[in-house]
Amino acid sequence: MGQVLSHGAHKTAYEIQQGHDLRGKLAIVTGGSSGIGLETARQLVHAGAKVIITSPHLQRARECATNLSTTARGIDASNIIPMELQLASFRSVRKFVEDVKAMNCNIDYLILNAAVMGCPLWRTREDFEYHLGVNYIAHVHLTQLMLEHMIHQTVPSRILVVTCRSGLEGSGVHLADMNFRNRVYDAGAAYHQSKLALSYFAMELAIRLDGTKIVVLLVHPGIVPTSLSRWYGPLSLIYAGLAASWTKTVQQAAATSLYACVQKSLENKSGSYLQDCSVTKMPGRNSGNPHLWSKVWEMTQDMIDGAQIDSNCNSLNPGIKIMDWFWSRYIDPVLHYCGYVRGGKDSKEADKSN
């Protein structure tokens, strides 16, 4: 591993979960079918938790669940629950929340981890720019619906918002045109904006939930080559090969999410920003600007309230489906073979050691 990583950055999710007993706890990991989310789910299950792993493709979530239960030694297969969640559709988000509520369980950890990066100018079913809609607005909608249930729980719970440091340090949320209707589209800026808006949401949510048993934590996993770069096509292969020498492993990138779940001292640290398994100052020039957080919250609420719900969530932009098919058919198997995506290159060793 490169010298650039701090001490906490070398810790793995496996090391963090050691010694913690999460039996009886339920975690939801959005985007638990790949990369950091999959590793987070794997280690939560190893610690005894029941984990809902979501994917926009039910089949993919099921394959991950089967894989997890056959490769990870000594875990209870019934503790892994694969579910479909397409964040590009409010209809799918609402169905997911209804299905979870019907399970009538406490939700101990809600981990907002799923994301897309580098997409062309696509729009979700409710006509939001794709990064904004998937990474941010759908997660806000999901959290608000889930909170109707979580707020009545008598047990403490945590909401983890997985962010990206470069988003926090980026050019900001474009309040006049969040949806790229009248400005030149830039996929990098769209990704960073969505992660920054999600981070503001976390900070505002922590304020609004003050005095409740719900702790909100902002988590930056660090940099690791995963399927996140899938929309860059074959370029991601080159990136995965080059970056692996200086970035974290998936095991290390998932460590801070595990830390945010199990670390007792975070009970009274709602609204904290975490990276490399420790609380640190949130980067970015608006890291201390509650006025902006509440402004973005109000604007987002208006967008959610005014969204035209499309009842047919299977008819997303055909470009998305073609790219997704191309990725899973050609790119993913190669990266998977090299050990970079899905489980991560060091997951098998971790499974054996459990």
Ligand X SMILES: NC(=O)c1ccc[n+]([C@@H]2O[C@H](COP(=O)([O-])OP(=O)(O)OC[C@H]3O[C@@H](n4cnc5c(N)ncnc54)[C@H](OP(=O)(O)O)[C@@H]3O)[C@@H](O)[C@H]2O)c1
| Position closest to ligand X via CB | 35
Please report how close the Cβ of residue 130 comes to ligand X at its closest, in angstroms: 8
For residues 18 and 24, the answer to whether their CB atoms sit within 8 Å is no
Catalytic residue, chosen from 14, 191, 200, 259, is 191
Q: How far is the CB of 139 from ligand X (least distance, A)?
A: 9
Residue 33 touches ligand X, criterion: CB under 6 A: yes
Q: Phi then psi for 83, rounded to 5 degrees? A: -140, 150
Which window, 2-10, 11-19, 67-75, 223-231, contacts ligand X (CB under 6 A)?
223-231
Nearest to ligand X of 236, 300 (CB atom): 236
Among the listed ranges 30-38, 102-110, 169-177, 291-299, the one in contact with ligand X (CB under 6 A) is 30-38
Of 32-40, 143-151, 173-181, 299-307, the window that binds ligand X (rule: CB under 6 A) is 32-40
Identify residues 104-123 at the interface with ligand X (CB under 6 A): 113-116
Verify binding: residue 65, ligand X, rule CB under 6 A: no
DSSP state of 232: G
> Which of the 8 DSSP states describes residue 225?
-
Q: How far is the CB of 280 from ligand X (least distance, A)?
A: 15
Is the Cβ–Cβ distance between 333 and 166 less than 8 Å?
no
Closest to ligand X by CB, 64 or 214? 64
Smallest separation, CB 131 to ligand X (Å):
10
Mark out the alpha helices in 116-232 (DSSP H runs).
130-131, 138-150, 165-168, 187-208
Place of tokens 């397409």: 86
- For the question of residue 340 being annotated catalytic, the response is no
Residue 251 contacts ligand X per CB under 6 A: no
Q: Which amino acid type is present at position 195?
A: K
Among 16, 26, 87, 202, binds ligand X (CB under 6 A): 87
Residue 272, interface with ligand X (CB under 6 A)? no
Q: Which two tokens stand for residue 86?
A: 């397409």
Q: Look up tokens 């939001």; give the residue.
A: 128
Residue 35 touching ligand X (CB under 6 A): yes
Q: Determine the residue type at 295.
A: K
53, 79 contact by CB (below 8 A): no
Q: Could you tell me the smallest distance in angstroms from the CB atom of residue 318 to ligand X?
A: 15
H helix intervals, 209-274 = 235-243, 250-253, 255-262
**For helices 90-102 and 138-150, angle between their N-to-C axes, nearest 10 degrees:** 20
Q: Which DSSP category does 197 fall into?
A: H
Question: Which H/E stretch holds residue 84?
Answer: strand 80-84
Considering only residues 155 to 214 of the shown chain, the ones binding ligand X according to CB under 6 A are: 162, 164, 195
When asked if residue 331 is in the footprint of ligand X (CB under 6 A), the reply is no
Other C-beta atoms lying within 10 Å of the C-beta of residue 251: 26
Residues in contact with ligand X by CB under 6 A are: 31, 33-37, 55-57, 60, 85-88, 113-116, 134, 162, 164, 195, 221, 223-224, 226-228
Query: Would you please indicate which residues are annotated as catalytic (active-site) residues?
Result: 191
